Amino acid sequence: MSGQHEPSDAVASGYFVDSDHPAIRRFASSVVEGADDPHERVRRIFAEVRDRLRYNPYGVTPDRDHYKASSILNGGPTWCVPKAVLLTASLRAVGIPAVLGFSDVRNHLNSEQLLSVMGTDLFVYHGWTAVHVNGHWHKGSPAFNTELCERFGVPPLDFDGTQDALLHAADGAGRRHMEYVRERGTYLDLPYDDIMRTLHETYGPGLTQSGTSGPVRQDPAFEP
């Protein structure tokens, strides 16, 4: 990852990445308790965020405040962007520089129901986190929880900041899974307006109306 951001800028709290919120500080501190090594701290927080919130791509909402880490922390199933926001804020809360990153990815194993809603297998603004540890930036995607990975026959991603940990290119049967097709850069805080505009332009209004305006859609592919 290019050095677009100085590590010293990547530890401050933001509107969405509200790492100074007491709930975020308590959460992050409890996860890393007893661990001084920064790689171990990254590993623990990543694993906790990965599995704390079950991945559900129908959890997109237009409500701005629902994208604050302190709101995401005790929320329900959600999609990749809120999980990346929570991971980024939690890392900053224990002094580890972290930024939000985004890519467009093509999901070759999309569920039929989700494909019908989106009209494409392209996921724009897939969210991940980049951390700066021991002089290097590395990327990790906390999107897919362990249970969902097991369903697709792939091991859950582990990430401790020593190398990139991005979504699997193939599933356990060797079928193409995730293909990264475009990088959208890294940010100190969530580019909410850009994301919402791009989602609307790409998928229409339907996908973003399942959050505060109604129940999250039921799709067997993403249910426990």
Phi/psi for 104 (5° steps) reads: -95, 130
Residue 138 CA to residue 47 CA, distance in Å, equals 16
Return the pLDDT at 17.
98
pLDDT digits (tens, 9 = 90+) for 137-193: 999 999 999 998 888 788 899 999 999 998 776 666 666 667 888 999 999 999 999
- Asked if CATH classification 3.90.1150.10 holds for the domain at 7-206, the reply, yes or no, is no
pLDDT digits (tens, 9 = 90+) for 95-112: 999 999 999 998 755 677
Helix runs in 110-165, H state only: 112-118, 146-151
Domain ranges of the chain: 7-206
Interval 65-92 mean pLDDT: 96
pTM (predicted TM-score): 0.91
Phi/psi for 124 (5° steps) reads: -85, 150
pLDDT band at 136 (very low <50, low <70, confident <90, very high): very high
Return the pLDDT at 155.
85
Interval 6-15 mean pLDDT: 97
pLDDT band at 215 (very low <50, low <70, confident <90, very high): very low
CB 68 within 8 A of CB 5: no
